[in-house]
Chains A and B, each alone.
Chain A
Amino acid sequence: MKAHSLPALTIIASVDEDYPSPVKMRLGREAPGRLVLSGAESLLHQPLHAIFCSLQPPADLVLSAIDRAHQLITRPAPVIGGFQSPVEKLILKILLRDGHRIIICAARKLEGMRLKSEWSDAMREGRLLLISGVERRRRTDAMLAATRNRLVAALASEISIVHAAPGGRIYRVTEAAIQWGIPVSCPMHRENEGIVLLGARPWPPGH
């Protein structure tokens, strides 16, 4: 598959008016000093629906994730996420294919990044935005992924969690999101009981 260069990058500093206020409000001093954007910038100022899934979810939740992706397509809110775990990548594929609007939050700096060929149609059609709060590092690591997840949650007005391993990265970001007052929902599963106890709403049957 051929990769292309990213369209022009836009930098929004935390002092700029365009800098998303929920990020400053929720992350406080942890908020990135600047956000680098590439693509459909207008998406950033709409109510966003974030989606997360751990790297190794229970097998029977994979299909719940697909159903959720199809449901998100019917909603007006653009979907934001890191789209790094296999299930998140599958959700991204479905959203891209069905013409939904998407924000991909990278856990690396955008400078020097290549646009994947499967993203180019969405980018051309103005329904894809790449965003990053990382300034220096070019490679993703666990710490950057955790920071990226917090940024995604801070930008969102609603969050769907497919699976959060108890005590894992997604669990911690869910905890923070619930404290910030963001509505969080997840499929009913024994592995998700922890986040349900934190305050996540279970998806209704058939969600």
Chain B
Amino acid sequence: MSRAGWRIAEGFNLHASLVLRCSEPVPVASSDRITLLYSALMLEDEFPDFRERRELYRNCKHAEAAHILVIVDAAEIRRIWIWERRRPGRPSDYRESLEPERPEDLARLLRIACEDLTVSGEVESPAPAIPAAIARSLGSRWQAGVPACDRMVSGPHLREAVAGASGPNETRQLWRALSRIRIVDLSCGDGSWLLEAAAELESLYAACLGRMAGWVLDSEHVSRSGSGRHRDFRLLLARVENRSRGRPDRYIRDRVILFNLHGVAGCALDALVTRSRLTRGLAAADGNLDTPYPLPETELRIVTGETHTGREGCLPGAEDSQGNLFLARARECEEAFSIVRDLHLGGSADRRELATAYSEIRKRREALVAWYRREKSAAGGALVRLDELYLHFPELLEHARSTIIRRP
């Protein structure tokens, strides 16, 4: 490493690291602006799964500007390198690799990781837009004498504001605001931008659920009749428990995909990649990476189309009965989807029945879009004035204030 221009961190002994816990990575070496962090597991620790490794990397991210994290099991057999690929104009992308055995391969891996981490230019991320969208969605209700709101809207403190909401009503409002957020990527490519948004929303949902659990616990301590308070929180927490069998991440990830994410891919391959990455994220939350196909619900959220513009004003007027008919049919599919989504998140629905329902909704929506295209081409675009995006996602019309759109 020293030959590659890296400085070895002093006082670090590789074998002594066996006593370290996974949550305490230590710097091993550093170059100009990149630090190599090392995190070794104890004998009794299970090797962290995809989700935990990513979380660990994200936590380290706050401490260091750019870094590579190496996680090693207690027997020093399994070593995983984690870093992120930063590209100008694109969201950062989480990457990892097993440590190669041969020194030349190791050097190459180090070089690739460094190249990924050292880029110039602005890195695009949806994360900064999310607090502003939440603030817009909350509107004047939050502004009325809630000091946490100012901090929250400023962005960096959003998660802390969610976790430290000073009253149950604030938590309720935040939960609703989170459910109203609509992230729309009109050129989703490999889905990185959507995944970045999903990661941000997941942490906010988790903070909100944690605060709800806190309110329930507080109410039980404060009064004997506390068990009847915060019924909505109790129901939701029971639903999370029921749905995810002790792993709230699965519920949260499902919720983010089913409520918040909308993608339009330019080609079928991009759509497939994005759906597969979302499916993989869900599978990782289950601790099962063997799910071989994109789940049917992701097919409803990531659509293929080249004619979406997402421009405002592409809605039918009052006199445009044909456009209104299309929109009504699209809303019908959306209503059906929202019922199926609630059954899905409720946790008791049969997986095969859900898949059938999602597939049927997708087929109907595709038939509607095909019909719309036929009518539009027959009329030369004169009679039907409706953006195709709204046939896929009519809910966006009702959530304009809390929608974040990334245009091509």
Chain A residues engaging chain B, CB cutoff 8 angstroms: 56-60, 62-63, 66, 86-87, 90, 93-94, 97
B348 touches which one: A56, A86, A93 (CB < 8 A)?
A: A56
**Which residue of B335, B343, B348, B361 is within 8 Å of A90 (Cβ)?**
B335
Contacts of A93 in B (CB 8 A): 335
**Which 10 residue pairs spanning A and B have beta carbons closest together?**
A59-B357, A60-B356, A60-B353, A59-B353, A59-B354, A59-B340, A58-B353, A60-B357, A86-B339, A90-B335
Q: Report the Cα distance A99→B358, complex, angstroms.
A: 28
Question: Is B64 an interface residue when CB atoms closer than 8 A count as contact?
Answer: no
- Chain B count of residues within 8 A CB distance of the other chain: 21
- Inter-subunit contact B335/A63 (CB<8 Å): no
CA distance A146 to B349 in the complex (A): 24
A sample of 29 cross-chain residue pairs with beta-carbon separation below 8 angstroms, ordered by A number, consists of A56-B343, A56-B348, A58-B350, A58-B353, A59-B340, A59-B350, A59-B353, A59-B356, A59-B357, A59-B358, A60-B354, A60-B357, A60-B360, A62-B336, A62-B340, A62-B343, A62-B357, A63-B336, A63-B357, A63-B360, A66-B332, A66-B336, A86-B339, A87-B339, A90-B332, A90-B335, A90-B336, A93-B335, A97-B328
A150 to B144 alpha-carbon distance, docked (Å) = 47
Q: Do A94 and B339 touch (CB < 8 A)?
A: no
- A56 contacts B356, CB within 8 Å? no
Q: How far is the CA of A57 from the CA of B344 in the complex (A)?
A: 11
Tell me the nearest residue of chain A to B338, going by C-beta. A86
Flag whether B232 is at the interface (Cβ < 8 A): no
Q: How far is the CA of A62 from the CA of B344 in the complex (A)?
A: 13
Query: Is B364 an interface residue, CB under 8 A from the partner?
Result: yes
A106-B393 Cα distance, complex, nearest whole Å: 32
C-alpha gap A192/B360 in the complex (Å): 20
Q: Are the CB atoms of A63 and B361 closer together than 8 Å?
A: yes
Query: B346 near A: Cβ within 8 Å?
Result: yes
Residues of B347-377 at the interface with A, using a CB-CB cut-off of 8 Å, are 348-350, 353-354, 356-358, 360-361, 364
Q: Is the CB of B328 within 8 A of A59?
A: no
Bound-complex Cα distance A201 to B367 (A): 30
Complex contact A63–B342 (CB within 8 A): no
Q: Interface of chain A, helix or strand or loop or mixed?
A: helix
Total residue contacts A-B, CB cutoff 8 A? 45
Give per-residue flags for B311-333: 1 if the beta carbon is below 8 A from chain A beta carbons, else 0. 00000000000000000100010
**Cβ contact within 8 Å between B349 and A58:** yes
Give Cα distance in the complex from A90 to B360, angstroms.
Answer: 17
Residues on A with C-beta less than 8 A from B360 are: 60, 63
Cross-chain contact B335 with A59 (CB below 8 angstroms): no
A98 to B: closest C-beta gap in Å? 9
Give min CB distance, A96 to chain B, whole Å: 11
Contacts of B348 in A (CB 8 A): 56
Within residues 92 to 117 of chain B, which ones have a CB less than 8 A from any CB in chain A?
A: none
Q: List chain A residues, Cβ under 8 A from B328.
A: 97
Please, how many angstroms separate the alpha-carbon atoms of A59 and B338 in the complex?
11
Interface flags for B64-103 (1: CB within 8 Å of A; 0: not) read 0000000000000000000000000000000000000000
Which residue in chain A gives the minimum CB-CB distance to B363?
A63
Q: Which residue of B lies closest to A189 (CB)?
A: B353
CB distance from B98 to the nearest CB of A (A): 40
In the complex, are the beta carbons of A59 and B364 less than 8 A apart?
no
Residue of B332, B340, B343 near A94 (CB, 8 A) is: B332
Q: A62-B336, A66-B332, A86-B339 are in contact. List 16 more A-B contacts (CB 8 A).
A: A56-B343, A56-B349, A58-B353, A59-B344, A59-B354, A59-B356, A60-B354, A60-B357, A60-B360, A62-B339, A62-B343, A63-B360, A63-B361, A63-B364, A87-B339, A90-B332
> Whole-angstrom distance between the alpha carbons of A57 and B340 in the complex?
9
For B336, B342, B361, the residue with the greatest tally of chain A CB atoms inside 10 Å of its CB is B336
Instruction: Indicate if the CB atoms of A59 and B343 lie closer than 8 Å.
Output: yes
Q: How far is the CB of A142 from chain B (nearest CB, A)?
A: 16
Complex Cα distance A155/B35, Å?
76
Nearest A residue (CB) for B336? A62
**Docked complex Cα distance between A56 and B364 (Å):** 22
Report the bound CA distance from A42 to B92 in whole Å: 65
Q: In whole Å, how far is A30's beta carbon from the nearest beta carbon of chain B? A: 32
A150 to B336: give the CA distance in the assembly, Å. 27
Chain A residue numbers with a CB within 8 Å of B349 are: 56, 58-59
Distance between Cα atoms of A90 and B339 in the complex (Å): 9
Q: Roughly how many angstroms separate A59 CA and B346 CA in the complex, as a whole number?
A: 11
Per the bound structure, the CA–CA distance linking A58 and B360 in Å amounts to 14
CB distance from B366 to the nearest CB of A (A): 14
Q: How far is the CA of A60 from the CA of B352 in the complex (A)?
A: 9
CB neighbours (8 Å) of B353 from chain A are: 58-60
Question: What is the minimal beta-carbon distance from B326 to any residue of chain A, in angstroms?
Answer: 13
Give CA–CA (A90, B328) in the complex, Å: 12
Q: Taking the nearest CB of chain A, how far is it from the CB of B100, in angstroms?
A: 46
Complex Cα gap A94–B331 (Å): 10
Nearest B residue to A64, CB-CB: B360
A60: which B residues are within 8 A, CB to CB? 353-354, 356-357, 360
CB closest residue in chain B, given A87: B339
Residue of B nearest to A86 (CB): B339
Expressed in whole angstroms, the Cα–Cα distance for A97 and B349 within the complex equals 29
Output the least CB separation between A198 and chain B (Å). 23
Closest to B335 in A: A90
